[in-house]
Structure 1
Amino acid sequence: MRYMMLLKLDPSAAPSGGPSEELMEEMGKLIEEMTRAGVLLDTAGLRPLEESTAIRLAGGRQTVVDGPFTESKEIVGGYAILQAKSKEEAVEWASRFLAIHGDEWEMTAEVRQLEEPA
């Protein structure tokens, strides 16, 4: 089964300067382990909110708005596509990913199973 892990964070609670070199090294090790285990199918961090564009649909009309979005209290900072035997396994990998961020970060990993073609 495939799962998407959405990594969400409050940009005002993130450490200034972004991830440290040590954290990037630890993430690299975990990504390598997940890839070797056949669990990680794809992953990426997302560019800053200031570079984003939102297309909103309301009342049948679309509106295009460029970021940043002042109403955003929590943003998606990255994602991963996981191949796991169960939701519990996907949650375990997501928990390991969050754990390497230590005490400096406040993040949420939302794990959701992907709809597969019939």
Structure 2
Amino acid sequence: MRFMVIMYPGPQAETGVLPDEKALAEMGKFNEEMVKAGVLLSGEGLKPSSQGVRIRFPSGGGGKPQVSDGPFTESKEIIGGFWMIQVKSKEEAVEWMKRCPASNGEMIELRPVFETEDFAPSDPSGELRAAEHRLRDQVATKK
């Protein structure tokens, strides 16, 4: 099972102040443990929302998308980083993330990722899933 792990760091992340050397070393060690275990697929930290943009699409399909520059005021919605992990179960994902060196009220959310097989009911012929597999293979060869 693949999971996207979303880090909600709290308002301190919006200051643009980088973590200190100790915090970076602890996170690096945690990431290294996941790599050695074959769990970590990818992961990145994100810059403050003041450097971001949101694009909101109108409901009903009409109208133009609305673009809003950061910063975004709802700090509970601010994502500070993410990991993509592959594990055998939700319980294993939770156990890994409980070891994360987070602090200061930070929160982590784990969300299972759809696999192409999950779309079988909407793709009885399998053509769309096969096309998706080809795209994923192309992306993987570019890494």
Residues 5 and 18 from structure 1, CA distance in 2 versus in 1: closer, same or farther, beyond 3 angstroms? same
Q: Which is richer in helix?
A: 2
Q: Which ranges in structure 2 are unaligned for 5 or more consecutive residues?
A: 118-143
Q: What corresponds to 1:19 in structure 2?
A: 19
Superposition RMSD in Å: 1.9
Bigger drift between 56-65 and 11-20 goes to 11-20
Deviation string for 1:50-101 (max 9, x for gaps)? 110000122433101111122x12210000001101001101111111xx23
1:109 paired with 2:108, answer yes
CA distance in 2, matches of 1:12, 1:42: 24
Structure 1 segments, 4+ long, off by >3 Å, are 12-18
Give the TM-score normalised by structure 1: 0.86
Deviation string for 1:8-52 (max 9, x for gaps)? 122158898342210100111111110010000000001111110
Shift of 1:5: 0.2
SS in 2 for 1:54: strand
Percent same amino acid at aligned positions? Answer: 42
Q: Which is richer in strand?
A: 1
Amino acid at match of 1:112: R
1:41 paired with 2:41, answer yes
Higher radius of gyration, 1 or 2? 2
Give the TM-score normalised by structure 2: 0.72
Amino acid at match of 1:38: G
Structure with higher RCO (Cα < 8 A, 6+ apart)? 1
Q: Which ranges in structure 1 are unaligned for 5 or more consecutive residues?
A: none
